[in-house]
Amino acid sequence: MKNIFAIVLCLVFGFGFSQVKEPETVQPQAVNDSARVRINRKVDSPAEFPGGMNAFRRAFSRNFSISRLSGKIRETTKTEAQFLIDTEGNISSIIVTGDNPALNKEMERVLKSIKTKWKPAMYKDQPVEYHMRLPLILNY
């Protein structure tokens, strides 16, 4: 019984006094090494597209043209876009990575074509840049 009590006591103190590490400000690589972008991961409220993420997905799919990729995609293709929502609510610093150059180019084109301004992320009542990630998998 004493052993069980000792184990429970250790777990309670371990969880009770454990520390939580604060998110850090990071510097991802941009398209070229000379252009680095500072991203503040500490936010009170994240960036928000008017109408929410479903509205953003609809705007993205409305502008996405699968006909530009005909014959250039086989089976499952993955790509991912990373971009910033700047302090004015614009999409900037787009970095697209994936296996298929044609799909990467189309994804970048579509993100650049979305002109609707986002509500910028806020930190201490000030707008800050916010990092977004958009993965895409096509089964063709």
Report the distance separating Cα 129 and Cα 140, nearest Å.
Answer: 35
Can you give the pTM of this predicted structure? 0.66
Q: What is the pLDDT of residue 140?
A: 67
Asked if residues 134 and 98 have their Cβ atoms less than 8 Å apart, the reply is no
Mean pLDDT of the chain: 76
Instruction: Please list the pLDDT of the chain residue by residue as tens digits (140 residues).
Output: 555 544 544 444 444 444 444 444 433 333 333 333 445 567 889 999 999 999 999 999 899 888 777 666 667 888 899 999 999 999 999 999 998 888 899 999 999 999 999 999 999 889 999 999 999 888 76
Asked if residues 130 and 46 have their Cβ atoms less than 8 Å apart, the reply is yes
Closest CA to 108 of 139, 55, 64: 64
